[in-house]
Structure 1
Amino acid sequence: MVELADIFVASVRDGYVQVSAFVAVTVLLFSLVQYRTGGALVEKLSDSERLQPLVGAAMGLTPGCGGAIVMMPLYVRGTVSFGTVVATLVATAGDSAFVILALAPKAGLYAYGIAFGTAIVSGYAIDRFGVGVGRVDAAVRRLDRTATDGGVLTRGAPTTGPHDFEADSCGSHERGPARESDFLTPLSHAVHVLWWVAAAAALALGVTYLLAGAPEVPLELGVSFAGLFTVVGVTGTTLSFYLYFVGRRYLGDGEVGRARESFSDTYDTLVHAAMETSFVTVWVLAAYLLYEYGVVALGVDVGALAAAAGLLAPIAGALVGLIPGCGPQIVLAGVYAEGAIPFSALTANAISQDGDALFPLLAIDRTAAVVASIYTTIPALLVGVGLHLLFGPLFGLGVLG
């Protein structure tokens, strides 16, 4: 029981200091750009027809799903091509990028660099040659009849045409006006402020931790580095759980994992960044506990099993990427950081995963969403298996500590 308790506390602490603090900075920076430009950045993207797949890949590459989600409304409105959609989704790093960049930055740079290159090639190939999109589209439509067509056969001519679409109504977990409570509303605002204090402290501790070479940090309380590491980490995760499960209903409309074209003010921007980061924190903790408790319960060497899987490892990574949302991908990233799956599986998953960006497309045009998922999985399988054959499994590549 002592061992299980130590695993739980260490996971609660490490997830916030090692991952969430860096997530908060990235999400906040991206959100501030959106706020300062009043959404003008999004409008300019639709005017770059020849550069659309390249811009889409770059937007998808930004950590988190925000950049990729922004591109989906542009396709549904008929302003960007289907190849741009595929390029965006292939490059989408999702929230798992925060985990990898915090725990294995070298591996993240390699994996997402490969995904970016694959995205550009895939996007331009689909826009220029079609590469069978029409046949795949027809096959999917026979399985799931929808009112709109999901593919494009010629460059710059989306067959869906424009649709009336509101970006921030899709890809959400809950929607509605913020609730009002004489107790919970002011409490949620206070927790939000404390959360940012904890995030700032965690960022300082996290940077110090990385500069020191990611050493083993003992579980202890006090004013020492290890003590502050533990106190701030546990506090930050606790506040994150409150914001995700309770506070978001009293600070906004309850949504997470969605695109926001702009924000009403700086405070609204801070709230959005805190909510998105809290969502990631919940899933990061789930990933840590799933792996650690799984190893203890099963008493098996997960790395040995992955090594024995051979080519099945990158194939499995690509198939996990078919699951919409960031949760399963965060779990897989956490498992990679533990040295339990090979680099080829991580890269295949990076290419295949669509994160929360697929939800807006699913809401309007299921066929387009399914076709796009197929066209992100194919290069994921090819690249993942190719890496495995050329370089071997490469366990623990770039993992800190």
Structure 2
Amino acid sequence: MPHPQTASLPRLLSNPRADHARPYGPSERAILSRAAFEEAMAEIGAWPGYAPTPLRSLPGLAREAGIDRLWYKDESARFAMGSFKALGGAYAVLRLLAREVTARVPGVPVTALDLVVGRHAKVTRPITVTTATDGNHGRSVAWGAQVFGCGCVIYVPAACSDGRRRAIESYGAHVVVVEGLYDDAVRRAAEDAAENGWFVVSDTSYTGYMDIPRDVMQGYTVMVEEAISQLPASERPTHVFIQGGVGALPAAVCAHLWESWGRQRPRLVVVEPQSADCLYQSCAAGRPARAGGDLDTVMAGLACGETSLLAWAILERGADDFMTIPDEVAVRTMRRLAEGAHGGRPIVAGESGVAGLAALLCAAGHEETRLGLGLAPDARVLVFGTEGATDPAIYEALVGRSPDAVLSGADPVSATGR
């Protein structure tokens, strides 16, 4: 745990194994590739309700940070779930069910529409998918199970909020509360799946479990390609700040930018809460490692103690820096977006979804960190706002206004602390 005197300061660790000259080769493409992205894009792009989420310019916060440009990929309206996770878990459920139908009915092509209309219900209905989650991933898996026609059991740690549990249950999933942390829920889900013959659909990978997490990560690259296509034609980011978790999201961002832009890709900074820093610790150790803290963080979606093996295989040489931030920085950033301090209409962003932006603003305010990251006045930064108010009650408690009040422009109340 950080010393009390340093708990409010960011920690920065430059990756000694980062190699911008290294080509994106066969070992990386075996995990994530543009070819597999094309499959994911063709599939997800055909889902009802699909539309690219907006890439917003934040000139006010760019000036505050002392940089040239700041872009924010706003995932708060992704499908019906308000999170980028909709691209991963549901896509992996679809791929799993399609494989199972093909294995049991050889020679029959399987489309998403076939599954949606129940054409293969005799095969899919007896199937149960399961996962552990702090909220958003489980909601995506439950949504995918409902849409594509199979059963679903979701395991959540005890700290998962009632609002997020209810959101998962609204898609017909059975929710099991595990006394313990996220990693305890991961182990319980795997144990129960083995006993009951269920299929685990997780975004974290471990020995003997690799294929489905690969599909989850590949779904995330749809968001990255959208952002690439939305950038001004003559401008590319010099830096990307992206939140960590088990590593699936930063690995997807890293891989897609690495393969797309090669050595011209931006500097990738992976951001974690100070108490849930498994990727930071992995960089320090030079191998997948556990978090050094107790995982007690307001950024609940990032409260992960163990590193995904597949993700680390990408990040080990593809990520440039690892950074941890205190909780208060994330909450302050949520409030700044809600106030419209960025120079535009208010943005509703969840506590885990603002971590990358919060890290940028935190780094800009600490000269040593700013210099360490090369945040010069001509820097152009891309961040991913990966969720909206996925639990409105928690959002209101942190920001001081409900999401609806923020979007309607209602005056802040004293709870914002201003």
Report the TM-score, using the length of structure 2 for normalisation: 0.24
Identify the structure with the greater strand proportion. 2
In the superposition, the TM-score normalised over structure 1's length comes to 0.25
The structure showing larger relative contact order (alpha-carbon pairs under 8 Å, at least 6 residues apart) is: 1
Structure (1/2) with the larger helix percentage: 1
